[in-house]
Structure 1
């Protein structure tokens, strides 16, 4: 889910969201599209998949959806993989 053989965009999005600006403010699909030079619909798909797995939380601000990391959920998933899940 996080990585495909040819594309690690979702992992790069999660890493970007650890940086101070994006971490504090969250990011929109437009910002992700611009940052990673991908079409907006592709950015939306990546963000929704990350939200569906619980790794991102979404909230509205200024009429737009902003996505933030859910570090507790990410740590939980990491622990599952460490245990050989």
Structure 2
């Protein structure tokens, strides 16, 4: 089970909320050439472009979301593709509903 405090911290950023929202509807990234973003996830490069931030900053946001179990990552070659972890998100929502 994920650390609930870490999960809450992961959601304390407008940038991370935006990433989760975009990945909920990966059609924002249909121009991805490597594969269908619905199936393999979205390349960190495209997320970086959409945020218009430095790649290390975006990677840090993605890593916090991954550690919170809100994202999963798939490596293909040297590229990392991120998808929402619907099970982890649902689990957090359930916990939040039970405790608030």
Comparing 27-36 and 47-56, the one that deviates more = 27-36
Matches within 5 A, 1:1-85: 1=9, 2-4=11-13, 8-21=14-27, 22-84=37-99
2:31 is matched with none
Aligned residue for 2:82, secondary structure, equals strand
TM-score by length of 1: 0.84
For structure 2, which runs of at least 5 residues remain unmatched after alignment? 1-8, 28-36
Bigger CA radius of gyration: 2
Whichever structure has more helix as a proportion of its residues is: 2
Comparing 22-31 and 63-72, the one that deviates more = 22-31
Give the count of matched residue pairs.
Answer: 82
Higher relative contact order (CA 8 A, sep 6+): 2
Q: C-alpha root-mean-square deviation of aligned residues, in Å?
A: 1.6
1:34-65 deviation digits (Å, cap 9, x = unpaired): 11111111100000001101111111124211
1:47–1:25 CA distance, 2 compared to 1 (3 A) = same
Within 1, Cα distance between the matches of 2:95 and 2:50? 30
